[in-house]
Amino acid sequence: EDAALVDAFEARVAADEFIEPKDWMPEAYRKTLIRQISQHAHSEIVGMLPEGNWITRAPSLRRKAVLLAKVQDEGGHGLYLYCAAETLGVGRDELIEDLHSGKAKYSTIFNYPTLTWADIGAIGWLVDGAAIMNQVPLQRTSYGPYARAMIRVCKEESFHQRQGYEIMMALMDGTEAQKAMAQDALNRWWWPSLMMFGPPDDNSPNTAQSMRWRIKRETNDQLRQRFVDATVPQAEAIDLRVPDDALAWNEERGHYDFGEIDWEEFYSVIRGEGPVARERMQARRKAWDEGAWVRDAANAYAAKAAARKEA
């Protein structure tokens, strides 16, 4: 690559300018963005499945309407992100094919089952809470279309986080059985939520370069720590116990110390061995196949409209 172009690109990134689709960029920067943005898009779309599972069983009409809107928002986030990836010269069909063939990654968190209604509270509170921690800094990521997509996504995610916490509050204000259900959901979702931030920094192959390019603005461990610091007091406020015996406030560091994450579990879920990984991909492929007629009809309509315009 032309050294002068690379220098000019790096100077723009260092000055916190946004890089736009038609600007020159190093091929490796483009590839890294396609990788991260498409994985992010897939996560939003696959993320509709665990919660979609509870729409028909939500305990009241209000809860059903809220959950329906929330799951629909996640679909919208996936669409903005696929659009942002497309500005880098990759086709959406290709991205979706990679997801369905098992070639593309998506967040480990969506390979765990939603067993009770409390899981819907835990997902909003913890999973969307973790997503916000990760996505707020991405509003300043160096690639313009990705940064702009994150602004609306973050607004919606903060509503999602609060609706999840509110479900947990209602359960913790309920019967003994409801409290036990909320605690059980926290027990099962806590560790997988910490894994969402990715491997520890010293084991994260992409972090150093992505920080230099300002694609990532903070490291996996920094964000994970911030999430723990913000979430532990929220658990305490409603009498939930975080399932970690090593958890303790460290006065000197001004942060919570926490226990060791089971990285074996993380890597096995990445390899596609998560508890419901197969069901997730089956559901995605089924939706894609059964939706073929909608895509065909939309294409036929667009072709007709274009022909009419020409005539």
- Least separation in angstroms between residue 302's CB and ligand ACO is 29
- Least separation in angstroms between residue 259's CB and ligand ACO is 18
Size of the site for ligand ACO (CB under 6 A): 25
Closer residue to ligand ACO (CB): 204 or 268: 204
The residue from 10, 26, 39, 55 that contacts ligand ACO (CB under 6 A) is: 39
Closer residue to ligand ACO (CB): 49 or 172: 49
Q: Does 73 bind ligand ACO (CB under 6 A)?
A: no
CB under 6 A: which stretch of 57-65, 199-207, 226-234, 280-288 binds ligand ACO?
Answer: 199-207
Closer residue to ligand ACO (CB): 118 or 131: 131
Q: Does 38 bind ligand ACO (CB under 6 A)?
A: no
Whose CA is closest to 2, among 28, 24, 34, 30?
24
Interhelix angle 61-86/92-100, nearest 10 degrees? 120
CB under 6 A: which stretch of 41-49, 226-234, 244-252, 281-289 binds ligand ACO?
Answer: 41-49
Phi, psi torsion values for 250, nearest 5 degrees: -110, 105
210, 223 contact by CB (below 8 A): no
The whole-angstrom separation of Cα 175 and Cα 144 is 49
Tell me the three state secondary structure of residue 167.
helix
168, 105 contact by CB (below 8 A): no
- Residues 261-290 touching ligand ACO, rule: CB under 6 A, are 270
The residue from 53, 114, 183, 207 that contacts ligand ACO (CB under 6 A) is: 207
Separation in Å, CA 105 to CA 36, 39, 60, 241, 270: 9, 6, 35, 32, 7
In this structure, are strands 255-257 and 248-250 parallel, antiparallel, or unpaired? antiparallel
Binding-site ranges for ligand ACO (CB under 6 A): 35-36, 39-40, 43-44, 47, 105, 107-108, 131, 134, 195-199, 204-207, 210, 216, 220, 270
